[in-house]
Amino acid sequence: MNENHYSEEIQKLVDGVIDEIIIEKENFLTFRNAWLINENKNLIVGEAGLSGQVVYRLVNVNK
């Protein structure tokens, strides 16, 4: 995967098209680079899973 792919996935997450992005350990740095340049990065949180997998979801701002 490349940064452009993850930038598109992040935008889909922000737009509500998808509910989560699952990132495997070997793709984390590529995803992180795309996440860092996104203006909505503070609305996206990751939850660490097993074997280095991270699930990113949009923060519910209505809490």
Which candidate, 57, 43, 6, places its Cα nearest to that of 28?
A: 6
The answer to whether the beta carbons of residues 3 and 34 sit under 8 Å apart is yes
Of residues 26 and 63, which shows the higher confidence score?
26
- Model pTM score: 0.87
User: For 1-63, where are the alpha helices, taking DSSP H only?
Assistant: 3-15, 28-36
Q: Which pLDDT tens digit goes with each residue over 6-44?
A: 999 999 999 999 999 999 999 999 999 999 999 999 999
